Amino acid sequence: MESEAAEAWISGYLACNPEYTSAAPLEGGVSNYVYRLTRADGSSVILKHAEPHAIHDENWAMDTKRVKYEHAALSSISKALLSSAAAREANVEVPSAIAYDADKYNLILSDCGAATKDLHTAFPSLTPAQRVDTGRRLGLWLASLHHCNAIDKATFYADETRDRQGMDQRIDLLSAGLPAGGTPDEKAAFVALLEPFAAAAIQRSSRCVVHGDFWPGNVLVGPPHEKDDAAQDLLAVIDWEGVGLGTGALDVGAMAAEAWLLCHFHRESARASVVEPEDFGMLEAFLGSYLEAAGQVEEAFVEQAVVQFAINLSVGRGGKQLMRPVKGLGCEIVELVMGKKEDDWKRGMLALGWGTEAWRDWFAGQ
């Protein structure tokens, strides 16, 4: 829908649903039309509406089943995670699914609050202690999601075609980060190098529920609900349309890369010439708490997480001049991992901030 059509659509929605007095569009995503709907008593909910294409590009086809996936996830995950001590300690919210219209592709969700900001936006304003606490809580929560036996995995739709397409897109984006001047044969060889990773990433034998788009843009931060000085800042994980069954390493690698990019470019903007211990505190806290809560992880898991880390480095959100060396770094990491040059990639990952005590011990023990 063009902007005028979108305005007409939401006006029609309000006319058919008089319990809502106003609708404010929320920006940030490319997939869905998202509005904050307000009732006469001042309370609010979030409305997601899916069209069979991206918001700003009708030629970019997108399956409307994405809201079906999200509804399935949000209908079960919050309750299931109540059984996890680590999830309760993390105190990370997940929106509740209030209503779902499968025919009109409309999903009504609970509202985390107008005072929230996504972590990507809020990061510069957080103190070093808040960044570490945020990373720690997200790591605990993610490990709880990946290892929660109370989640009914039968409610999550197996969609191998979607997963394969998503993986192919990741690989295409990563190969675009190859140094300029690379020959078609070199690019083809690089893509072939990644095929074992792609095949392993979409296999479902592990039967783990993954978020599928776990990055700071899908984490909300805000003031605590309680007025108590000891209350934790609000953290919430949103946008569950990529949810599915697969390897949790993809979630770990994606968030680790985006946390690294946030820390790296924050230092660049501050023109810091010396790396301070707290500069990568959020990344280290995230990785450390995930490993602590998850327990021992297999080497294949770490390799997959590192490759996903490299992919996200290559498609990260920074200016062209800033991103060029980072894109090259992503490709270099992939070549080391998939080429089985273990000593080289393990040393490299430690240097990039995977150097928490737990992960140092893991690498040393392999």
What domain range includes position 288?
114-365
Q: Report the chain's mean pLDDT, rounded to a whole number.
A: 80
Total count of domains within the chain: 1
Q: How confident is the model at residue 18 (pLDDT cuts 50, 70, 90)?
A: very high
In a domain, 53, yes or no: no
- Residue 8 covered by a domain: no
Confidence band of 277 (pLDDT split at 50, 70, 90): very low
pLDDT digits (tens, 9 = 90+) for 28-79: 777 889 999 999 999 999 999 998 888 777 888 888 888 988 998 898 888 8
In eight-state DSSP terms, residue 144 is H
CATH number at residue 332: 3.90.1200.10
The CA-atom distances, in angstroms, between 190 and each of 141, 195, 201 are: 34, 9, 17
User: Residue 170 falls within a domain, yes or no?
Assistant: yes
Q: How far apart are the C-alpha atoms of 355 and 256, rounded to whole Å?
A: 12
- For the entire predicted model, the pTM comes to 0.85
25 inside domain: no
The pLDDT of residue 175 is 65
Per-residue pLDDT, averaged over 114-133, amounts to 93
> Which pair of structure tokens corresponds to residue 196?
């074992």
Q: What's the CA gap between 101 and 47, in Å, rounded?
A: 11
pLDDT tens-digit series, residues 93-118:
999 999 999 999 999 999 999 999 99
Which of 63-77, 202-216, 302-316, 321-335 shows the lowest mean pLDDT across its residues? 321-335
| 252 vs 345: CA distance, rounded Å | 17
In a domain, 137, yes or no: yes
Is the model's pLDDT at 357 over the cut of 60?
no
> Residue 54 falls within a domain, yes or no?
no
23 occurs within a structural domain: no
Determine, yes or no, domain membership for 92: no
**Residue 121 has what pLDDT?**
93
